[in-house]
């Protein structure tokens, strides 16, 4: 039975395709991580703005217009699909959350409408 003999010349480096793929994936992951760290502040600010807008609009929809909270999502701008709404009926407030980044609450006050809680840095 004939077999092929693999010979490696002295000083020759053998590169396997999976090794290149692994290092490529590590490189892409490092670049993505660096971008996330670089843009983190801006992402958090945008998430807080979206959560604030969502809380204010949903609170007005729920307590000023007396609509169901599920219907209030129709008033959102495009791109706000990740905002999660929750309601506290006793406090007449709506909280909007952008997962892992921001949360904001708007409370209905008679005569003032819906007011956002103060931002803390």
What pLDDT sits at residue 103?
Answer: 93
Structural domain contains residue 75: yes
| Mean pLDDT rounded to a whole number for the chain | 86
Structure-block tokens of residue 112? 């003032």
| 90 belongs to a structural domain | yes
Judge whether 48 lies within some domain: yes
Tell me the two tokens of residue 32: 């993505």
- Is residue 15 over pLDDT 70? no
- The pLDDT tens digits for 75-95 are 888 888 899 999 999 999 999
- What average pLDDT score do residues 56-73 get? 91
48-65 mean pLDDT: 93
- Residue 118 above 70 pLDDT? yes
Q: What separation in angstroms does the CA of 121 have from each of 20, 44, 71, 117?
A: 44, 11, 32, 13
Residue 65 lies in a domain: yes
**Cα–Cα distances in angstroms (integers) from residue 40 to residues 45, 101, 114, in the given order:** 9, 10, 29
Examine residue 12 and state whether it is found in any structural domain, yes or no: no
Q: How many CB atoms lie within 10 A of CB 108?
A: 17
Counted domains in the chain: 1
What confidence category does residue 18 fall into, taking pLDDT thresholds of 50, 70 and 90?
confident
Q: In terms of residue numbers, what domain contains 82?
A: 24-116
């Amino acid at each position: 039975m004939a077999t092929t003999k693999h010979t490696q010349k002295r000083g020759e480096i053998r590169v396997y395709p999976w090794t290149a793929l692994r290092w490529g994936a590590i490189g892409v992951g490092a670049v993505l991580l660096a971008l996330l760290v670089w843009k983190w502040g801006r992402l958090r600010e945008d998430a807080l703005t979206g959560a604030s807008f969502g809380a204010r609009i949903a609170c007005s929809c729920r307590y000023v217009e007396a609509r169901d909270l599920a219907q209030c999502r129709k008033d959102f701008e495009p791109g706000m699909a990740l905002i999660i709404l929750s309601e506290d009926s006793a406090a007449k407030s709506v909280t909007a959350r952008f997962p892992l980044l921001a949360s904001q609450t708007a409370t209905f006050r008679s005569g003032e409408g819906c007011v956002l809680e103060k931002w803390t840095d």
